[in-house]
Chains A and B, each alone.
Chain A
Amino acid sequence: MKDKLKVVHYINQFFGQIGGEEKANIPPSYKDEPVGAGMAFNNALGDSAEIVRTIICGDTYFNENLEEAKAEIKKYLIEVKPDLVIAGPAFNAGRYGMACGAVAEVANGELGIPVISGIYPENPGYDMYHQYAYFVETTNSAAGMREALPAMVKLIKMYIEKDGDLGRPEEAGYLPRGIRNNIFVEERGSLRAVKMLVAKINGDDFVTEYPMPVFDRVDPVPPLKDLANAKIALVTSGGIVPTGNPDHIESSSASKYGKYSISGVKDLTALDYETAHGGYDPVYANNDPDCVLPIDVLRDMESEGKIGKLYDYYYSTVGNGTSVANAKSYAQEIAAELVSDGVQAVILTST
């Protein structure tokens, strides 16, 4: 027989039996025993798993002191080293759902501990943190506890039986985590396409293998009114780096970006710069890196007074094969630095 799994349970102040809204400001604390619904979990889990610690935090405190709460909870988790974390269920309580999600991010994203939770699909905590937990779908209010609890217990038991390999969401009974996993199937892709085409023509049911995402569309900001006094930065996904690619930015699927000083640089030469990008013939870019990152033209415009100043650094990554999520996170970091350095506009160059 397998050893009992060590479980930590996260709940808010209300389910932690501390109090209602008036206690929503309490910081994280813990008890090394099941609390409230935790006792029902423990009974139902029997010999398979046991809640050894319950972490309780006020919903308002958690959301208003996110980093502090996460750091404290991480500490509590490291002390116990649980095999599994149960969070909630949060139903449609927005702040509680966000807290359960953030706990999942710490436990699963940072510590690699699996998390099972319960949530109403429209809770923003699901949208934001779905990749970190196996969320069982619940009703929108705590009145659904009678259904949520056995559903979560069932999933936990399945998780234990299958050594963590739960399989697809619709088979196992959790909400999709938005994670794409590769599998080999019996029929080759072309035949699947032909069969899908026949089904689509005939109006029969078929399941697309990739549901198209709703795409972010960004409205352009208004144009600059005073270019002659603006500080302009260059950011490129064309892979222009100092010769030798000091940060080892990948030729495809870049896991990082570089920030390089161009203070005093008037022209990019083949001697000092090159491209790390693997998606195009690099001959021309290596001969004259300005054709991807036009420092020469911007220096001219600077000296002619057409632009105020070229920012002292440029940022570079490789767009080739780089996931949208990575690109988005680089952009967020780069934008924050540019804003704090007083840059008013950015020229983004691709390839």
Chain B
Amino acid sequence: MKLELGKIKINDLQFADETKVDSGVLYVNKDELISILKKDDRITSIELEIVHPGDSVRIIPVKDVIEPRVKVEGPGGVFPGFMASEEMVGSGRTHALQGAAIVTTGKIVGFQEGIIDMSGPGAEYTPFSSLHNLVMTCDVDQELKQHEHEEVLRMAGLKAAKYLGEAGRNIEPDIVDSYEHKPYHEALAEFPDLPKVGYVYMLQSQGLLHDTYVYGVDAKQILPTLISPTEVMDGAVISGNCVSACDKNATYVHQNHPVIEDLYRYHGKEYNFIGMIVTNENVTLADKERSSNYTAKLAEMLGLDAVIVSEEGFGNPDADLIMNCTKLEKKGIQTVLITDEYAGRDGASQSLADADPLGDAVVTAGNANQTIVLPAMDKVIGQQNVADVIAGGFDGSLNKDGSIKVEIQAITGSTNELGFHKLTARGY
């Protein structure tokens, strides 16, 4: 499977009469997009606003961030299983409007939604402050249960991303990156002298608002399985998570998967990147045992020598991370783990809920309990009063002057465990 990912650089975002891309500017017909989104009669109100890097704007509570894309050649469409059929993606050509994103907000669904500050100290902690964001504030029928509320917003975000992505269909991309995943027998034969490496992609699937979807299937219902890295880069995995904002994988990060990108960097030079396994993080012990056993078995069946394992979330999934690590290592498959830490506000606690000496190679995305003061912004999109109750906030987080003291746990993407950002922690 060969995927060409054409990146159309977006330097500005503006409302206009017609939705189009022209000279790096993404123009959006606001009324047309609102009318499309309002076809879902569970939505009671919807507003669209544009924010740019450096603006004195706070978006809270953020649910998801999505990159607008369009499939221009090859089978399938963007967000298969939701916005497109069940056709397999990952080959042909897809265009991405790089530098723009849809950010969804509105009344809080669960507790675990985040903050994006477009400027100030908080902006450094979120990778999404560097994007031109179309912010969708969406409220729904009060009768809806939380999981229905989540679904409405998820679908609205995907619809908007698909709608905007269409504007890039006939635009010549600035860069075309090409990624190829060959059939296994060819891939294994290609670099016989290099170590065979893979990637174990753990998806948040604790359920009850902690869901991730693979081709529209709730990941808690899957057995670990093989997936082409190009399928992931082509939108096969999307977020349905109300998990702590810092370390949930926003759909944007699934689409721009940093581990896959960086494994391709040294493919054929330092190692042979054979492929990847997608697995889940379910809550029962039996599920955890089965999924980690199955993952280790698949890695063995592929003949892998070493893998990167990334976690999503914290606490309960630490057990899945350690099970995956120990079972792989005991089969002689070397591991590097990517996680983040909950070391307490003082940094003095042990950081994970489970640990094992076999996990001797760990990359950390930082201590999510560290607190930060986010100064008041000129404008707030969403509802700032949720600062006291979102995960990472506490009683008194929101000050009268509009500043907020929170753990960085509340900042969207701050400790992303796909290694999307540059924050880390060290022992002092």
Contacts and interface: CB of A to CB of B under 8 A. Distances in A.
A180 B409 CA distance: 15
Contacts of A222: none
B422 interface: yes
Contacts of A188: 258, 262, 419-422
Contact of B424 (A185, A198, A201, A323): A185
Interface in B342-377: 342-357, 359-370
A79 B392 CA distance: 38
Nearest to A209: B364
B360 A190 contact: no
Given A181-B425, A321-B315, A255 B146 contact: no
A251 B390 contact: yes
Contacts of A177: 348, 427-428
Interface string B373-406: 0000000000000000111111100000000000
Contacts of B146: 281-283
B284 to A, nearest CB: 12
A223 interface: no
Interface stretch (B164-172, B205-213, B285-293): B205-213
Contacts of B357: 212, 214
A179 B348 contact: yes
Given A184-B422, A190-B259, A251-B111, A325 B349 contact: yes
A183 B369 CA distance: 14
Contacts of A283: 145-147, 208
Contacts of A252: 111-112, 244, 391-392, 407, 409
B308 interface: yes
A186 interface: yes
Interface stretch (B73-81, B83-91, B176-184, B265-273): B265-273
A179 B369 contact: no
Nearest to A213: B350
Given A182-B423, A250-B395, A319 B305 contact: no
A326 interface: yes
A264 interface: no
A249 B369 CA distance: 16
A189 interface: yes
Interface stretch (B10-18, B46-54, B230-238, B333-341): B333-341
B427 A179 contact: yes
Interface string A182-207: 11111111111110111011000010
A94 B393 CA distance: 41
Contacts of B243: 279
Contact of B315 (A213, A320, A326): A320
B338 A212 contact: no
A183 B349 contact: no
Contacts of A176: 427-428
A201 B271 CA distance: 9
A190 B420 contact: yes
B416 interface: yes
Contacts of A213: 350-352, 355
Contact of A190 (B354, B366, B419): B419
A210 B362 contact: yes
A278 interface: yes
A260 interface: no
A321 to B, nearest CB: 6
B393 A201 contact: no
Contacts of A187: 422
Nearest to A166: B428
Given A193-B336, A201-B334, A321 B363 contact: no
A253 B367 contact: no
A322 to B, nearest CB: 8
A325 B348 contact: yes
Interface string A156-187: 00000000000011000000111111111111
A196 B419 CA distance: 13
B97 interface: no
- How many chain B residues sit at the interface, stated as a range, is 35 or more
B191 to A, nearest CB: 13
Interface residues of A, number: 58
A252 to B, nearest CB: 4
B266 A198 contact: yes
A212 B308 contact: no
Contacts of B305: 201
A324 B350 contact: yes
A255 B356 CA distance: 27
Contact of A321 (B259, B368, B395): B368
Contacts of A168: 426-428
B99 interface: no
A248 interface: yes
Nearest to A216: B350
Given A180-B341, A180-B428, A212-B360, A197 B308 contact: yes
A193 B391 contact: no
Contact of B391 (A189, A320, A323): A320
B422 A193 contact: no
A220 interface: no
B419 A192 contact: yes
B314 interface: yes
Contact of B395 (A183, A210, A248, A279): A248
Contacts of A280: 206-210
A253 B409 contact: yes
Contact of B349 (A189, A198, A323): A323
A46 interface: no
A210 B341 contact: yes
B328 interface: no
B216 interface: no
Contacts of B161: none
A208 interface: yes
A279 B336 contact: no
Nearest to A186: B422
Nearest to B355: A212
B174 interface: no
A191 B353 CA distance: 25
B218 interface: no
A194 B265 contact: yes
A44 to B, nearest CB: 25
Contacts of A215: 350, 354-356
Contacts of B348: 131, 177-180, 325
Most buried by A among B350, B356, B357, B359: B350
Interface of B: 110-112, 124, 145-147, 195, 197, 206-210, 242-244, 258-259, 261-263, 265-266, 270-271, 305-308, 310, 314-315, 334, 336, 338-339, 341-357, 359-370, 389-395, 407-409, 416-428
Closest 4 CB pairs of A and B: A189-B419, A278-B111, A190-B419, A281-B208
Given A280-B208, A284-B208, 9 more contacts: A131-B346, A180-B428, A181-B426, A189-B421, A201-B195, A214-B357, A281-B209, A320-B244, A326-B344
